[in-house]
Structure 1
């Protein structure tokens, strides 16, 4: 089937067709918090899902909650977060609160029997991650479902990108991201230490991508340079970072994200001029993909070739690049460069060299090799919601998921970076859930 072009696809992303008829027994969501992110991350995807409705919202300011509910057609407004999670008609909770409140309200929601979709970063640090994702509440029979919302993982194009990698033989990976300042601001809550803010926390996609690219957890953070907020802002918070990790196979992963336009720092500074990466040629696709670029290099591989004389061998080195990994539903491109060399075995003299290039895109699951129906205008949040519902209903999904151990390891990697940068790990909440019947 012919796919819609750029303009039609993006028009449908903004104005999707009318959703399907709703199930008689939908999964009923309540939202904790009234951040604008909920429209994109849950409300709009829910309108496209036959088994999901958004039924309730709660905020510290009830007036804001009422305005939010009226604007988005949400039937119920609760006086408090606790009132919402104690309502027996609510099946699942979407938590959009500041990072320092994630552990408390995820645990409270799970204890109330609610499934939880939890905005990233899941919690404040690795200690909290272990408290949450290894909670007895998740080991009980018929335990609720808990998912950290790393939405990009569920996109078809990310599945297609990973399929082109030979993870054990990745030697280096660089992931960068410029976030336009219009998307966020240094005055926002996510850049305050006391609520577990900072770029490594909020702009954490690049870190997650490295773990996915190597298919392993790093041994150590070998360097981490950060740009700290300036007085009178919170100097314990970072608004940009450039960090490097060593992985078990000897590979090196480098991640950097920055709030573009803030205090003049961009990704094209000396922080990125220390070494020559293959993708930093004049036609570097990163220049056209401000919302994220990944470049992955592999070890040289010797290929059998019976047409060559005995004294020669053929080797290949692969580079795979992903342009616009965050908003790839709008536009993305996957480039594969296979560099070939024929050389003499004795002294390594090159006899011949050439490159074979290919490009791939995957806006639907079938284009990514997954035999399931989907629409090219679906955003990552719709795919994520599909998998969340499949887990709740006990159905097989695409196989893409963010496990609890995955989320714990993500926070460990962030903590490594803060420690290397000389900044404190984000603070641990004093909240603990008393499973015997009370809180302390």
Structure 2
């Protein structure tokens, strides 16, 4: 039954129901006919009654026309500027290469448009601070909303994972994300240094954000970083990365990933979090010895960082050790294991919107629209400070490695 339910759930994510659009629906304009657009916005918008995909522009207008016809977008503009100048457009979605994010996000904000900005928000922390602390975002509570489109973090499954962690007592976390080499070609735009290329800045954002979430804190130091560069002429870009961080509580977080795994390799991106031993709480252990001391060491694994609405699981493994009071000798030990899943917030006992056919992007779109409309929603959001902190952690890895920071926009002085 679970298998059939999973098939139906995934089928509906790629063929969601069509919602009737409300009069106050937000009209979106899209900058660029990127491959991510259908999954990230067009499909989620189909089932949202307050989202209309109104217009698109691309560097190649012919491509934009073909894209618009295929996806039912009614208006094709001649340029990005025409999208921004259209008073009918309320929101701009920016799926452009990372190195172009700062320029076009600020141009959109200057026109009073709300902005949904693909991750990573910027090429480095300097750009992130310029963007997220910009005066355009601080004029009033009625000003435009800017959010980094970190879709996976909005999923109920990810929130279920966070709910079973005890961040102050996390001792170690390791997140891995391995992608077979045939998925991304050598000439892919992800390996263009001039516009923020590199596997870490693309693929690595997911495992890095996950260990930061696990510790509930920002790393104090990157104590090790190893980057494997592409072959010339793309040697400034990494295709494989590894980094180790020290967090404020003394715990260690690791990220490990590649866009060049063997072609036969298949694994879902996963994070494993180990806690320090803590005294067991009343009712959670089976010790009957009078005066016994019982400690619990928790290990939690979350499988599928990127697409938890398609499939995921959270495994909670609690190891209990029983000792006589004051003794360091373990008299008895046992392990209790539980697996949790949450494809809607209802699955974890929370009263928040969601359906089994919602993708991670649909959950994200729900909260982005809620923010614009002034509604509370699920309470999940990517704040400006969160985006800056993520950029700083990415910079720490690049600085520790031999590759150095990703380049800052040559026009940055215009935006500061």
TM-score range, shorter-chain basis?
over 0.9
1:296 matched to 2:273: yes
Alpha-carbon RMSD across the aligned residues, in angstroms, is: 2.0
Aligned counterparts, 1:130-169, within 5 A: 130-141=129-140, 142-169=142-169
* C-alpha distance in 2 between matches for 1:304 and 1:339: 13
Q: Residues 239 and 260 of structure 2 are in contact (CA less than 8 Å); yes or no, is this contact kept in structure 1?
A: no
TM-superposed CA distance for 1:370, in Å, is 1.9
Aligned counterparts, 1:54-203, within 5 A: 54-141=53-140, 142-203=142-203
What do residues 249-283 of structure 1 show as CA deviations (whole Å, max 9, x unaligned)?
11100011211436x897xxxxxxxxxxxxxxxxx
Residue of structure 1 in register with 2:364 after alignment = 384
* C-alpha distance in 1 between matches for 2:213 and 2:61: 40
Aligned counterparts, 1:228-239, within 5 A: 228-231=229-232, 233-239=233-239
Residue of structure 2 in register with 1:32 after alignment = 31
* C-alpha distance in 1 between matches for 2:215 and 2:264: 28
Give SS of 1:249's match. coil
1:313 matched to 2:293: yes
* C-alpha distance in 2 between matches for 1:377 and 1:130: 36
TM-superposed CA distance for 1:126, in Å, is 0.4
Give SS of 1:5's match. helix
Residue of structure 1 in register with 2:332 after alignment = 352
* C-alpha distance in 2 between matches for 1:14 and 1:302: 46
Residue of structure 2 in register with 1:273 after alignment = none
Give SS of 2:274's match. strand
Residue of structure 2 in register with 1:274 after alignment = none
What do residues 230-250 of structure 1 show as CA deviations (whole Å, max 9, x unaligned)?
12x411100111111100011
Question: Could you list the runs of 5+ residues in structure 1 that have no partner in the other structure?
Answer: 267-288
Distance 1:420 1:432, change over 3 A: closer
Give SS of 1:165's match. coil
* C-alpha distance in 2 between matches for 1:368 and 1:34: 37
What do residues 274-323 of structure 1 show as CA deviations (whole Å, max 9, x unaligned)?
xxxxxxxxxxxxxxx7231110001101236794344x411110001011
Aligned counterparts, 1:215-294, within 5 A: 215-231=216-232, 233-261=233-261, 290-294=267-271
Q: Give aligned pairs, total.
A: 409
Q: Residues 160 and 369 of structure 1 are in contact (CA less than 8 Å); yes or no, is this contact kept in structure 2?
A: no
* C-alpha distance in 1 between matches for 2:149 and 2:299: 29
TM-superposed CA distance for 1:432, in Å, is 4.3
Distance 1:22 1:151, change over 3 A: same
- TM-score with structure 1 length normalisation? 0.89
1:50 matched to 2:49: yes
* C-alpha distance in 1 between matches for 2:318 and 2:111: 53
Q: Residues 4 and 376 of structure 1 are in contact (CA less than 8 Å); yes or no, is this contact kept in structure 2?
A: no
Give SS of 2:12's match. helix
Give SS of 2:7's match. helix
Q: Residues 14 and 43 of structure 2 are in contact (CA less than 8 Å); yes or no, is this contact kept in structure 1?
A: no
TM-superposed CA distance for 1:4, in Å, is 6.2
Give SS of 1:422's match. coil
Distance 1:71 1:187, change over 3 A: same
Residue of structure 2 in register with 1:279 after alignment = none
Residue of structure 1 in register with 2:12 after alignment = 12
TM-superposed CA distance for 1:178, in Å, is 1.5
Give SS of 2:388's match. helix
What do residues 81-121 of structure 1 show as CA deviations (whole Å, max 9, x unaligned)?
11111111000000011111000000000000000000001
Give SS of 1:103's match. helix
Q: Residues 55 and 90 of structure 1 are in contact (CA less than 8 Å); yes or no, is this contact kept in structure 2?
A: yes
Q: Residues 221 and 420 of structure 1 are in contact (CA less than 8 Å); yes or no, is this contact kept in structure 2?
A: yes
* C-alpha distance in 1 between matches for 2:212 and 2:24: 37
TM-superposed CA distance for 1:14, in Å, is 2.1
Distance 1:265 1:139, change over 3 A: farther
